[in-house]
Structure 1
Amino acid sequence: MWTGVFPAVTTKFNADDTLDHAEMERCFALQMEAGCDGLIVCGSLGEGSMLSQDERLAVLKTAQGVAGGKPVLMTIAEAATRDSANLARKAAKAGADGFMVVPSTIYHTDPAETVATLKAVAEAGDLPVMIYSNRVAYRVDVTVPIMEDLAKDARFVAVKESSDDIRRATEILTHFGDRFDVFTGVDNLAFEALAVGCTGWVAGLVVAFPKETVAIYRLMQAGRTAEALAIYRWFRPLLDLDVSTYLVQNIKLAEVHALGSNDRCRMPRMPLSGERRAKVEKVIRDAIACRPALPAV
């Protein structure tokens, strides 16, 4: 149902901490112009947990306005299942094309609780669901046996595999075949994940470097792995910025240098400063200085 590059877009703020819809519209449009296949709003990179539900719905509307009919997914990630279900209902009413769902952000659910929560959200919103499996960040591992249970419900159509273990992607694909659309959710494992059969990439650094991200994906799908690998090797230092406690600040800083955007965050996050900022800026500037020419694909 879903394949390709789906940016996990950042949320833009004005200096007074209100939503900057004009800047989001500009940045989201760059993703579409580069050939991305959908958008995911209000995820971890989108600072969704720092936004009210009304703000998240407003970001969804802005994304829909520039998506050109491509799917726009709302991230559902609340502490309480009741609140997740409520947001799913609201997002469905607002026209979301589907959801990317985190089982729980604070309490670490056991397998039965994980299944019950994911099913409750799917039933509340009654739209296609991408299961977000991220045992590293959220400490809830959506395993193959759990997916077996969820596979009985046709609304579960995709998995964002972020376990940080490439073997998990292979296990899902081997066990389920084409039952789920399997996306990689770890930027610096993307080449490896696409090589073993994943057909989607929920990407982070794409928000600053959309053309390079799309080129890697399309070259891999075309079997032009050597060309994809050459770009990926250039990209790796940047992609590593996604695997960090400071991924939001890192990637927003990349947007500053690559797109002329800003790196305002919602507190308690604050833009990088001092030595940490200098190190990240060096990575970004060094990469931009030797940005590769992209082949036609």
Structure 2
Amino acid sequence: MWKGVLPAVTTKFKEDGSLDHEEMTRCFQIQMDAGVDGLIACGSLGEGPMLSQDERIEVFKLCKAVSGDKPSLLTVAEAATRDACALAEKAAKAGADGLMVVPSTIYHTDPRETVATLKAIAQAGDLPIMIYSNRLAYRVDVTVEIMEQLAKDARFVAVKESSDDIRRSTEIINRFGDRFDLLTGVDNLAFEALSIGAIGWVAGLCLAFPDETVAIYRLVQAGRYKEALDIYRWFRPLLDLDVSTYLVQNIKLAEALAIGSNERVRAPRLPLAGERRAKVEQVIKSAIACRPKLPALA
């Protein structure tokens, strides 16, 4: 159902902290013009937990308006299952093509609770679901054994694999074949995951460098691994910025420098400052200065 490059878009704010619809529309269109295969709203990178449910639906609707006939998904990541189910229902009414679902953002569910939570959200929204498995950020590991239980429900169609263990991707394929669409969610493991069978990339640095991200994906799919790897090696210092407590600030700074956007974030986050900012800015500017020429794509 879902494959290709699906950027997890950032949420843009005006100086007064309100949603900046115009800037989001502009940035989302840059992604679509580069050839991405869909958009995902209000994930970790989209500061979803800092937004009200109504704001998240607003951001999703902007994604949907820009993505056209390509899928737009809304992230469901709530502390309480009740609230997650309510958001899933709102997403369905707003026309979501699917949901990317995190089990819980506060309480670290055990396997039985994880299955119950995910099934409840699926029932509430009645939409296709991408299971977001990120044991590092969210402390809940959606294991292969848990996926086995969820596989009986046809609404669970995909897995965003973010365990940070590349072996997990092979384990999922070995256990389920093509039952789940397997997408990588770790930018600096993307080439590795795509090379061993992932069919999609939920991407972060794509927001600042969409052409390079799309090129890597398409080249791998065409079996042109050497060309993809050359770009990936250039890209790697940038991709490392996605694997950080400060991924939102890092990537918004990259957007500011690469596509002329802004760095505004919602408190308690603050834009990068001091030595940390200087280091990230150097990484971004150095990459821009030696940006590779991209090969022709089919």
Q: Indicate the residue corresponding to 1:14 in structure 2.
A: 14
Instruction: Summarize deviations over 1:66-114 as a string: whole Å, max 9, x none.
Output: 1021100000000000000000000100000000000000100000000
Q: Indicate the residue corresponding to 2:65 in structure 1.
A: 65
Q: Indicate the residue corresponding to 1:284 in structure 2.
A: 284
Q: Indicate the residue corresponding to 2:181 in structure 1.
A: 181
Name the CA distance, whole Å, in 1 between partners of 2:294 and 2:162: 27
Match of 1:275, as an amino acid? E
Q: How does 1:141-160 map to 2 (within 5 A)?
A: 141-160=141-160
Q: Which SS does the other structure have where 1:49 is aligned?
A: helix
Shift of 1:60: 0.7
Name the CA distance, whole Å, in 2 between partners of 1:230 and 1:72: 30
Name the CA distance, whole Å, in 1 between partners of 2:248 and 2:49: 12
Name the CA distance, whole Å, in 1 between partners of 2:228 and 2:218: 8
Number of residue pairs aligned between Structure 1 and Structure 2: 297
Name the CA distance, whole Å, in 1 between partners of 2:64 and 2:153: 27
Name the CA distance, whole Å, in 2 between partners of 1:133 and 1:60: 21
User: Structure 1: any 5+ residue segments left out of the alignment?
Assistant: none
Name the CA distance, whole Å, in 1 between partners of 2:60 and 2:198: 26
Q: Is residue 38 of structure 1 aligned with residue 41 of structure 2?
A: no
Q: How does 1:115-130 map to 2 (within 5 A)?
A: 115-130=115-130
Q: Indicate the residue corresponding to 1:250 in structure 2.
A: 250
| TM-score, length basis structure 2 | 0.99
Instruction: Summarize deviations over 1:154-209 as a string: whole Å, max 9, x none.
Output: 00000000000000001001110000000000000000000110000000000000
The sequence identity of aligned pairs, in percent, is: 77
Q: Indicate the residue corresponding to 2:77 in structure 1.
A: 77
Match of 1:73, as an amino acid? L
Q: Is residue 48 of structure 1 aligned with residue 45 of structure 2?
A: no
Q: Which SS does the other structure have where 2:137 is aligned?
A: coil
Q: Which SS does the other structure have where 2:138 is aligned?
A: coil
Match of 1:257, as an amino acid? L
Name the CA distance, whole Å, in 1 between partners of 2:161 and 2:212: 21
Name the CA distance, whole Å, in 1 between partners of 2:81 and 2:213: 34
Which deviates more from structure 2 when the two are superposed, residues 59-68 or residues 14-23? Answer: 59-68
Instruction: Give the ranges of 4+ consecutive aligned residues of structure 1 lying more than 4 Å apart after TM superposition.
Output: none
Shift of 1:276: 0.6
Q: Indicate the residue corresponding to 1:88 in structure 2.
A: 88
Match of 1:294, as an amino acid? L
Match of 2:256, as an amino acid? V
Shift of 1:65: 1.0
Q: Which SS does the other structure have where 1:5 is aligned?
A: strand
Name the CA distance, whole Å, in 2 between partners of 1:3 and 1:243: 22
| TM-score, length basis structure 1 | 1.00
Name the CA distance, whole Å, in 1 between partners of 2:246 and 2:275: 14
Computed over aligned residues only, the root mean square deviation of the Cα atoms, in angstroms, reads 0.4
Q: Indicate the residue corresponding to 1:213 in structure 2.
A: 213
User: Structure 2: any 5+ residue segments left out of the alignment?
Assistant: none
Name the CA distance, whole Å, in 2 between partners of 1:97 and 1:85: 16
Q: Which SS does the other structure have where 2:250 is aligned?
A: helix
Q: Which SS does the other structure have where 2:136 is aligned?
A: coil
Match of 2:221, as an amino acid? Q
Name the CA distance, whole Å, in 2 between partners of 1:218 and 1:226: 12
Name the CA distance, whole Å, in 1 between partners of 2:274 and 2:54: 34
Name the CA distance, whole Å, in 1 between partners of 2:227 and 2:68: 29
Name the CA distance, whole Å, in 2 between partners of 1:34 and 1:140: 34
Q: Which SS does the other structure have where 2:64 is aligned?
A: helix
Match of 2:108, as an amino acid? H
Q: Indicate the residue corresponding to 2:236 in structure 1.
A: 236
Q: Indicate the residue corresponding to 2:29 in structure 1.
A: 29
Q: Which SS does the other structure have where 1:158 is aligned?
A: strand
Name the CA distance, whole Å, in 2 between partners of 1:173 and 1:211: 28
Name the CA distance, whole Å, in 2 between partners of 1:184 and 1:296: 24
Name the CA distance, whole Å, in 2 between partners of 1:61 and 1:191: 31
